[in-house]
A and B are shown apart, each in its own frame.
Chain A
């Protein structure tokens, strides 16, 4: 497992994401978080994970782990098609910007989020937004759940196979009751 960016040239600075080497790491972070939030990009509905799409895993995870969801771009339609209503619909940079504001009370107005989980955004867009958060949201933890290494997240998978990815997502889900 390596800390090489998925796009070879997108090397980060001195501060790089720690690797999620086993699903328990992500699971523990989600458990510990008081106000986690998912930021789900449009690619989540395109990625096939065997018989499911990535977005189906997100929905299961959001429900089982009580994670609020921000849908960026047209991801909202895909959620709605699956009878899941996201907590907010807004551009990825807009939610990114708000997460750098320590006074922002979150999508439900009940207090700042302490964990942001990114998934399904175009790689470089996630890279740059996570860089914004790495530098300007010191109190926020970030995870990337894509199967590619995102150096600017606090935690990220390395570049892993789809099979490995599914195993990890299933394992996180498996720890929760349906």
Chain B
């Protein structure tokens, strides 16, 4: 491990800026660094170091709380009823309680990424040594770790250097989590500021994880032409032994592929993945295949196709062992964070474990050595295949399914459990009469949660029936996804930096997050296509990246086959797995540093202010479900990047909404003149849940506006906003006057209509400032 005692060092930095170098250089691993950029004001910021910046944002975007529970039950004083203006026994109010739960969720998310990063870095150091050079993009990348440079003020060069960054992240998360204890922070806005801090740490850890794995495993290095790989149920050759890997931490999957390579087995076994391990292993080998996002777990396991299941960490169904057991599929657990109750066999001989798994003497094994997992998974799959083949179809036959449907009593308990309110009982009635159409339609909007089955009073295996009714749909799922490319090249940033900050590339839209979609994944693909056609830069990651790939145009092409993988207008850029999200925030940060030449090092506030006022980036987490999604979103918020979530997103308990009707909220400082200038509500919200795909698209266009847009840029952005509003919501928007600053901002083709509206609203021309929210401190130049 690298240097320790990071808490002492941080304290010193926070309170005695002059001593930063001495302390860090005397104990730090980075003593040999040769980075001459001056250190900014907040390297390794403490949990309150950026509080002023947070409160500046939160003044504009006040929390709108949507309590998902009126009670608190966190300590034995409870349960406490916090409804309205009641307080808990500890004195906490409802707003603070909501912010506290958001902070808790964000801490869980950030802890998960940080722990994942730690596990990866530790493993990779064991395998490749601490001096292994970080190389996320070869000659194309000089700013190798923009978030790390920005937050920590250090420039990591080797795997070993990343340990210090993780030391800091772990220390911060511990303090942040401590803030949620009873009788700790109780001011809602202070809690929100800590949510932002958690998000920032989350992006830091994600960056560490991804640059470590990209460097050590030679995953695509900022490569816009990363290969197209197979995705979908229908791409699997079921005549071969099939391994299924689920989770997020890729070393066991890498070892599986290495074992196959070393033993000349490539091509004879199918290695398939669900969730981000799927994404990351296809970055490692083009031969690997992705089945789909998180919601494909049940349907794929129940198909009986996998001969063995290997799980690592995060977003794995906790009942995976039960599902696998029902079909006699052995399971290998590989992470200390997810042991599944299985016996630890790490110290046993591989042959003995394989015998036990194949014979069914044990349901599975917990093995902490990825290399062993590689061998055991492959050899077990090969021996399981003939056994599985002998079995008759592992799920019901169509006739048996119809018989099951006939048992339905129309009690509707299934529908009352379904998060998407799908009309299951009606479909079940039709299926019982041999009409599968309705049930097959449900397949498209079903998120595979099997809550319906849990609720069914007749124990009908509803989800299995949905799959059977969907029949060919599932088998026809065969698409192409561009493998996660990792970071954005410096040269790409140089090329698009200008057009982005001037508004002439209308925006960057990042489709990220989980697969809890309200109406099916196709909506996400349709949004991505719409904005790629409008020449926005589209970034994708994780489950969202997969979902967008699982879509075909009329010529049978997936969006990744239609649009280039370059970070450019009209590009469709799959950065990779969840942890690759840091490359999206990193790209925004790099625009400030590479294009605008702002100092990055330990200079968070200035860079966030730059990004917020100039970079028209918008995050869309249409199916956001997890706590990680909460912390990822929070990391974007602190950089001033707004995030849109689908209707399920209101369950995150609070929005961060601007008030376009409060003119006073929308003034910025003009850095040129020192004057305060009204710039309109741009971007209007920082975190908003919307109801439909149509509303989301209008909101994306609207939230891409920034104070710095030139007239040409603003006219372009307004064209998209107005055009989408008209087409999808049916009318001209009524708030155009808030976004037009000069007559030159008005899109020429819409001039007449807009001028009429401006007249009616008594609009007056203003100026385009050099915008900043940062008040220059007195005495500073």
Contact = CB atoms under 8 A, between A and B. Distances in A.
Interface string A102-144: 0010000000000000000111110011011011101000000
B518 A76 contact: no
A129 B68 CA distance: 10
A94 B703 CA distance: 14
Contacts of A72: 691, 695
Contacts of B655: 93, 97
Contact of A128 (B68, B699, B728, B731): B68
Interface stretch (A7-15, A28-36, A48-56, A170-178): A7-15
A121 B648 CA distance: 12
A12 B70 contact: yes
B419 interface: yes
A129 B695 contact: no
B84 A93 contact: no
Contacts of A124: 419, 647-648, 650-651
Contacts of B66: 93, 96, 128-129, 131-132
B731 A76 contact: yes
Chain B: interface residue count, which band?
Answer: 35 or more
B83 A135 contact: yes
Nearest to B62: A97
B88 to A, nearest CB: 13
B534 interface: no
A89 interface: yes
Given A97-B64, A125-B647, A128-B650, A74 B417 contact: no
Interface string B51-81: 0000000000000111111110000000001
Contacts of B650: 93, 124-125, 128-129
A7 B455 CA distance: 11
Nearest to B726: A77
Interface string B579-612: 0000000000000000000000000000000000
A92 interface: yes
B688 A135 contact: no
Contacts of A77: 728-731
Interface in B382-430: 413, 416-417, 419, 421
Contacts of B733: 89
Contacts, number: 133
B65 A132 contact: yes
B688 to A, nearest CB: 6
B651 A122 contact: no
Chain A: interface residue count, which band?
Answer: 35 or more
A136 B94 CA distance: 9
B12 interface: no
Given A124-B648, A132-B66, A74 B421 contact: no
A8 B694 contact: no
A132 B654 CA distance: 9
Interface string B244-263: 00000000000000000000
B94 A74 contact: no
Given A73-B695, A122-B647, A125-B647, A9 B688 contact: no
Contacts of B731: 76-77, 80, 89
A16 to B, nearest CB: 10
A49 to B, nearest CB: 16
Nearest to B685: A94
Contacts of A42: 691-692, 695
A34 to B, nearest CB: 21
B659 interface: yes
A131 B67 contact: yes
Given A14-B83, A77-B729, A89 B71 contact: no
Contacts of A12: 70
A7 B449 CA distance: 15
Interface of B: 64-71, 81, 83-85, 94-95, 413, 416-417, 419, 421, 455, 518, 647-648, 650-651, 653, 655, 657, 659, 661, 685, 688-692, 694-695, 699, 728-731, 733-734
Which 7 A/B pairs are nearest by Cβ-Cβ distance?
A: A13-B70, A77-B730, A73-B695, A128-B650, A128-B66, A97-B64, A73-B691
20 contacts: A14-B71, A73-B691, A73-B692, A74-B692, A74-B695, A74-B728, A93-B688, A96-B64, A97-B64, A98-B659, A98-B661, A124-B419, A124-B647, A124-B648, A125-B647, A128-B66, A128-B67, A128-B653, A132-B64, A135-B94
